[in-house]
Homo-oligomer: A and B are copies of this chain.
Amino acid sequence: MKIPIEISARHIHLSKEDFEKLFGKTEKLNVLKNLSQPGEFASDKIVELIGEDKKIENVRVLGPLRKNSQAEISMTDAYFLKLNPFPKIKVSGDLADTTNISVKNKNISVKIPCIIAKRHLHCSEEEAKKLKLKNNQEVSISVDGIRKLTFHEIAVRVSDKFKLALHLDTDEGNAAGISGKTFGELVK
């Protein structure tokens, strides 16, 4: 079975509290575009990520709001912003012991935990059964092309809220030479 690959650009998730601090209590997080994972969307809101002497503009806020705020950036971004301590490579939601980053809208800023996302495979219960995969298992997926790569230690995440897709960040996508719609092959 071919595994669809999706590249996640840098983005942030916000808690209700942080959202209201940045955008005010009357503002709403509106859907700009639905993402592949059911219920997830790119919102109409953007922020700036503030580093030591540089910033990254136009960073998308993804929705819906979550229990905890979290920024997900690439290692390239972390070097560019000179983040110190350097953010950890973590699965989404594991925010213990990572670094914080300043997130800014207009003249208001909040500090939120920042991670470099560990590569992971989203998978529904049915897809997991077909592929004989279990939640939290680690698999390898190979991507063909001029920059052929095999990604190992991919965390499998099974839920009926999910749909089959390998999520990589932009460094990983670029290392594999991926541009546009691409599929990988499960190696195990």
The answer to whether the Cβ of A119 comes within 8 Å of any Cβ in the partner chain is yes
The interface stretch among A38-46, A60-68, A105-113, A169-177 is: A169-177
Is the pair B149, A150 in contact by a Cβ cutoff of 8 Å? yes
Encoded as 1 (CB less than 8 Å from any B CB) or 0, chain A from 130 to 174 comes to 000000000000100011111111000000000000000011101
Complex Cα spacing A119 to B171, Å: 15
Write the nearest CB–CB distance from A87 to chain B, whole angstroms.
12
Write the nearest CB–CB distance from A10 to chain B, whole angstroms.
11
Contacts of A152 in B (CB 8 A): 142, 148-150
Is the pair B89, A147 in contact by a Cβ cutoff of 8 Å? yes
Complex Cα spacing A142 to B151, Å: 10
The answer to whether the Cβ of A100 comes within 8 Å of any Cβ in the partner chain is no
Contacts of A150 in B (CB 8 A): 149-150, 152
Is the pair A171, B76 in contact by a Cβ cutoff of 8 Å? yes
Across the interface, A171 reaches (CB within 8 A) one of B148, B153, B175, namely B175
Across the interface, A174 reaches (CB within 8 A) one of B151, B175, B176, namely B175
The answer to whether the Cβ of A69 comes within 8 Å of any Cβ in the partner chain is no
Across the interface, A146 reaches (CB within 8 A) one of B118, B147, B175, B179, namely B118
Complex Cα spacing A172 to B151, Å: 12
Is the pair A176, B175 in contact by a Cβ cutoff of 8 Å? yes
